[in-house]
Structure 1
């Protein structure tokens, strides 16, 4: 850390010195997987990295005290690597958190006290990466004027106070007036000495379990005010929040495909295998399409589109791997728009759907079943074309051919068929969301 970061923030100036405690010691596993949510990547950077960057770029904040789990040093160093040098200059060495949020905040406050107490402290959740300068400015102003303040937004849902009478069942006890309710966020702002004293008193009296510092301040007898929060300053708690944040930071809508994700040590994946099969009868013609390559033949195929059995089977395999219907769902044969259509667009669409889920295509394997045409001399051209359409290395595409030893419609040269397998990896949160959605659909 720099010499500046070792001095009390704001020292030597007439402005109130402001520091921030970033609480990042939680396990945060409700988003799924083994990696805590603050270290999961959204838009290519860890949630914690984005939160630290948002605070560090504020001219109002001179020092940031991160609080992390004792066993998270490696994850934290990964986050630092993605920060700008000027942003890292504001960071104090991280301190280890405790078993509860309250204990972690107390550890952060004590860390700041050892470095030189600021006038004001902002306490912020690591899982709120959408904090912006306008909200920080309101927090600093409210904390300076009132001593203890929290951001809040109006509640749009009707809230019920209930008494649990059975697992999952509660009896309504009261319906508070909605206009008097606020959903509280962070950063919460306090005069440093007031909050530090409140935490030390709570420790001395054995009080633990406060879920935010506003509640602890209330317990300590401090008047707490609510200033205007920001609905966009949402907290990442569930898997859906993580995916929404990834889309927001990637600048994409939910209908747009995500860029392919490389092997990222901070993202956990599940492997999915999908299979596909397609068959077409022969008809008059002088060529067939196989794997996106036009192959001369003494007959053509009877089909609504170009009849490329290899690409059709492969498209279904990819759709199966992500549990998103089949080729007929996305390109119904009843739609004249697809009459005579080139099948490369079907495969490209399926690949886009995989990447829209943050997935990675590992391998594509196709077996063509036909007496004719022979594909041996066209094999490498087919592999290259499929690799081009799918955006994968040539080594990730396998194409094989076989006959059925004169058995069945293939053996009688009445048509040809293809079967395919696709291996993809999906971020664990996406896979869990799909499973959850399927469960809810079955229940409804």
Structure 2
């Protein structure tokens, strides 16, 4: 797939992800900043970009990069629909501030600030941060400190034991109401604060903790990279998603099913081309990767999707799987109607679906059935479709 992973505005740019990737950490070797080192066959940066791109509640993504890294960034971001990157500053805090200022023209309500070197951020962690922002100005994921903490001198002699009660390890993404964190970063310019939560705290804001994840660690050392790479040597993870869609008959002389135009005495009513089959398949794929549904990515309230061919939606769903480093193993589509007869077009529909997604034809199954003249499909009022998608993702 070469098309960019593009969707709709998801209700407008209300929640933007700001990925900080301007660091110059070369200590992992390879002659590249660590965010561009290969992990599981893809740049470390690519992993978190794909996760945020697949999240249905993230409207837009901007990456803060070092100007010298533009070619590396383009490779890592290839095929994803991202905002134009912006250059960072001398320190991380400067980079975040510059990134926030660049987002002002979008006027987002919230911003999620994430370190590029945390490749295993999950949808669940992002969800918990977003949910907390409904009630608080700032929220960060964190993991309780479980190990005993020791304080030592320069020679390694223990000088004390630190009470670990109430201590947490902070992670990203750290979420904030946009104007609050932008003002706080302006006020903190020139200071050396360790994370964005500290910036808001210094301005008098309140930040809450939500459960993070042990896997959401930062790749900092060679050991970190080896442990991260080990995750990709297993069998991976297989997921199944389902989709269901219905469209009523309306005026017209054909229906489009599975990307194939079929002559009929009526058409199907819908905001796009009303291809009930491709809609069900797209939702099944979105479901398998926890990426919401068609309505989140392509809001029917937006005029630009009126009459749009539904292969756009299916390509977008497939592109998100690819961006996550996964692949579609199998698709199973059932079309439910009395008329038109689907049987004569089954092979063409399966072939078109495979073509749209770049799959082998043997990975697409198309079936047809009726409801024995029961219900709205039995009365000839419309067509329904149900679909299942089996997807493999890196472990």
CA contact under 8 A between 2:30 and 2:37: conserved in structure 1?
A: no
1:186 lines up with 2:176 in the alignment? no
Match of 1:155 in 2: 145
Match of 1:77 in 2: 74
Q: Deviations over 1:79-127 (max 9, x none)?
A: 122x4xxxx22x110000111010011111111113x121111100001
Q: Deviations over 1:386-410 (max 9, x none)?
A: xxxxxxxxxxxxxxxxxxxxxxxxx
Distance 1:111 1:249, change over 3 A: farther
Give unmatched runs, 5+ long, in structure 2: 237-395
1:50-65 to 2 correspondence within 5 Å? 50-65=47-62
- CA positional deviation for 1:161: 4.3
Alignment: residue pair count: 233
- Aligned-residue CA RMSD (Å): 2.4
Whole-angstrom distance in 2 between the partners of 1:181 and 1:175: 13
Alignment TM-score, normalising by the size of structure 2: 0.55
1:120-131 to 2 correspondence within 5 Å? 120-131=110-121
Counterpart pick for 2:216 among 230, 233, 236: 233
Match of 1:221 in 2: 204
Whole-angstrom distance in 2 between the partners of 1:176 and 1:42: 35
1:298-337 to 2 correspondence within 5 Å? none
1:105 lines up with 2:96 in the alignment? yes
2:209 aligned counterpart, secondary structure? strand
Select the structure of larger CA radius of gyration.
1
Q: Deviations over 1:61-93 (max 9, x none)?
A: 111110001100010111122x4xxxx22x110
1:28 lines up with 2:28 in the alignment? no
1:319-398 to 2 correspondence within 5 Å? none
Q: Which runs of 4+ in 1 moved over 4 A?
A: 4-7
1:81-96 to 2 correspondence within 5 Å? 81=78, 83=79, 88-89=80-81, 91-96=82-87
Distance 1:42 1:17, change over 3 A: same
1:32-43 to 2 correspondence within 5 Å? 32-43=29-40
Whole-angstrom distance in 2 between the partners of 1:23 and 1:146: 23
Whole-angstrom distance in 2 between the partners of 1:27 and 1:62: 28
Distance 1:50 1:240, change over 3 A: same
2:61 aligned counterpart, secondary structure? strand
- CA positional deviation for 1:5: 8.9
Q: Deviations over 1:391-435 (max 9, x none)?
A: xxxxxxxxxxxxxxxxxxxxxxxxxxxxxxxxxxxxxxxxxxxxx
Alignment TM-score, normalising by the size of structure 1: 0.49
1:117 lines up with 2:107 in the alignment? yes
Q: Deviations over 1:239-273 (max 9, x none)?
A: 111122222134369xxxxxxxxxxxxxxxxxxxx
Whole-angstrom distance in 1 between the partners of 2:100 and 2:8: 15
Whole-angstrom distance in 1 between the partners of 2:211 and 2:48: 20
Higher relative contact order (CA 8 A, sep 6+): 2
1:142 lines up with 2:132 in the alignment? yes
Counterpart pick for 1:247 among 222, 230, 244: 230
